[in-house]
């Protein structure tokens, strides 16, 4: 049993569907044919028995036959119109025409002769070996005789045999036609699947993600085609973003590496030639090397942060106090800009977020404010009902550049000389969106830029969360 099943499973899907359709049709046709044959057989037999019960033999023929058997007739009677007719007396003696085959006499027949039962109907085999259906009934009158009327079973056996062959032929034609129709239906129905398979194989072979499958209708195949098209578009977009990220990262890494290499070569040449670099110049070179190394480290850290796929879930979410995180970030901002004045109004607000990622986002926003604030400038920080605003009094951002500030590696032309990788606000945007919030930048009244972060939360922590 295992072998045929394995061979069937090894067939192509369209062949299995065609085989399934042909098998189902074969079973249905066979059931209908068998039922038709048995119903027809039953009706023919019932009709034959009804005809036998209603048949009657001419009294003159019976008289002639009886006289012949008693040697009182000059000539024997001829067989009676295709029937076998014989007389039976109370001793079981049979009287029939000379050219007829004798029908066996049973006890039931004698019971009819002796008026113990009205009639009998049975199937017997005559003297010539022919199967007969025999009806025995008493002869009318005061005689102790019964007449048996027999009809050969071949009268209905031959039509039934012919019907069986016709049904078999029709069933075979039906099964073959069903198999062909099933194969055609399978090919037509699976044509979209073939197109999908070819598209997948083409993508696997060529890595061409521009392939799209035409979508027709609203059935399962159409849904599968739409899903494939969406998947291919998403993969193409992801690959484009990956290629763009690599290109942008290479471009951003090239500048500090080139500068760092130049400074290191100057220091190495000084040592090789024995020509000392003036102390002030050497100190400036070392400061530049440290700054470039710091910039590289920050850029690599930002790249590692962005290497996490946007679609992945953030780390474990916790109920955190946004005001406490902002207060910690303010302490770091004051250390980076000690000459700046930082004002803060922080109302309690609790949110669900990844603590480390949220703190990094707030620090990045404050770092931007410190970076673009003028010397001895002021930074205003306000947290009110879940909206954190950070306003600086720097040069501001032109309106045509605002749509690009959250793009990876994008930096304003006026800020390219300042340290930074152009990734900070991109990381902030992703972190805020993962926490279910919104972020925006807008020009501040009177000059400068105002950054706003809105996060869903509550002024009080949940009962199970201890206050920080």
Assess contact for 81 and 100: CB atoms under 8 A: no
User: Strand, coil or helix: what is 32?
Assistant: helix
Which residue, 204, 224, 206, is CA-closest to 214? 224
Which residue, 199, 244, 190, is CA-closest to 226? 199
What residues contact residue 306 under an 8 Å CB cut-off, 6+ apart?
A: 245, 408, 423, 426, 427
H or E stretch covering 390: strand 387-391
Write the DSSP string, 296-359. Answer: HHHHHHHHHHHTS-TTS--S--EEEEHHHHHHHHHHHHHHH-TTSEEEEEE---EEEE-HHHHH
> What is each CA distance from 44 to 52, 156, 164, 410, in whole angstroms?
12, 7, 14, 94
Assess contact for 379 and 453: CB atoms under 8 A: no
Instruction: State in words which class domain 318-458 has.
Output: alpha beta
Instruction: State in words which class domain 220-306 has.
Output: mainly alpha
User: Residue-wise pLDDT tens for the chain (468 aa)?
Assistant: 456 666 666 666 667 777 777 788 888 888 888 899 899 888 888 888 888 888 777 788 888 888 888 876 666 677 777 788 888 888 888 888 777 888 898 888 888 888 888 889 988 888 888 888 888 888 877 678 888 888 888 888 888 888 889 888 888 888 788 778 777 777 776 677 777 777 778 777 877 777 777 777 777 777 877 887 888 888 887 777 677 667 656 655 665 677 778 878 877 887 778 777 788 877 877 877 776 677 677 667 666 666 655 434 456 778 899 999 999 888 878 877 778 888 999 999 999 888 888 888 888 888 888 888 888 889 999 999 889 999 988 887 777 676 667 665 555 545 444 454 456 677 788 888 888 888 888 888 888 888 899 999 898 887 765 554
Residue 466 CA to residue 178 CA, distance in Å, equals 73
The residues spanned by each domain of the chain are 1-189, 220-306, 318-458
- Protein fold of 1-189: Beta-Lactamase (3.30.450)
């Amino acid at each position: 049993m295992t072998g045929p099943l394995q061979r069937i499973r090894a067939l192509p899907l369209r062949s299995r569907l065609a085989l399934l359709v042909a098998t189902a049709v074969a079973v249905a046709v066979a059931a209908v044919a068998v039922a038709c044959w048995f119903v027809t057989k039953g009706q023919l037999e019932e009709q034959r028995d009804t005809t036998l019960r209603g048949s009657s033999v001419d009294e003159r023929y019976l008289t002639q036959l009886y006289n012949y058997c008693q040697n009182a007739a000059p000539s024997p009677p001829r067989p009676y119109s295709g029937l076998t007719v014989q007389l039976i007396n109370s001793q079981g003696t049979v009287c029939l025409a000379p050219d007829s085959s004798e029908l066996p006499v049973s006890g039931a027949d004698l019971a009819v002769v002796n008026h113990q039962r009205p009639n009998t109907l049975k199937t017997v085999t005559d003297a010539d070996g022919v199967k007969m259906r025999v009806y025995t009934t008493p002869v009318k009158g005061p005689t102790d005789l019964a007449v048996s009327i027999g009809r050969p079973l071949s009268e209905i056996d031959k039509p039934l045999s012919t019907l069986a062959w016709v049904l078999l032929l029709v069933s075979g034609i039906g099964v073959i036609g069903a198999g062909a129709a099933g194969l055609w239906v399978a090919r037509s129905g699976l044509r979209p699947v073939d197109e999908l398979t070819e598209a997948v194989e083409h993508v696997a072979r060529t890595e061409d993600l521009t392939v799209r499958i035409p979508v027709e209708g609203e059935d399962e195949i159409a849904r599968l085609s739409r899903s494939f098209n969406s998947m291919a578009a998403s993969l193409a977009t992801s690959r484009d973003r990956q290629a763009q990220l690599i290109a942008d990262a290479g471009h951003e890494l090239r500048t500090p590496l080139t500068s760092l290499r130049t400074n290191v070569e100057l220091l190495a040449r000084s040592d090789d030639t024995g020509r000392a670099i003036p102390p002030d110049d050497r100190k400036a070179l070392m400061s530049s090397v440290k700054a470039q190394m710091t910039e590289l480290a920050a850029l690599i850290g930002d790249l590692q942060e962005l290497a996490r796929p946007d679609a992945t879930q953030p780390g474990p979410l916790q109920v955190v106090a946004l005001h406490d995180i902002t207060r910690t970030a303010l302490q770091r901002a004051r250390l980076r800009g000690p000459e700046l004045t930082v004002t803060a109004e922080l109302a309690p607000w609790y949110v669900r977020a990844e603590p480390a990622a949220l703190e990094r986002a707030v620090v990045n926003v404050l770092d931007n404010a410190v970076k673009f604030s003028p010397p001895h400038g002021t930074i205003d920080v306000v947290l009110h009902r879940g909206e954190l605003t950070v306003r600086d009094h720097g040069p501001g951002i032109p309106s045509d550049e605002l749509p690009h500030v959250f793009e990876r590696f994008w930096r304003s032309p006026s800020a390219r000389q300042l340290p930074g990788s152009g990734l900070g606000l991109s990381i902030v945007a992703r972190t805020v969106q993962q926490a279910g919030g919104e972020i925006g930048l807008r020009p501040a009244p009177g000059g400068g830029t105002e950054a706003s972060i809105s996060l869903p939360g509550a002024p009080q922590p949940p009962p199970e969360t201890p206050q920080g």
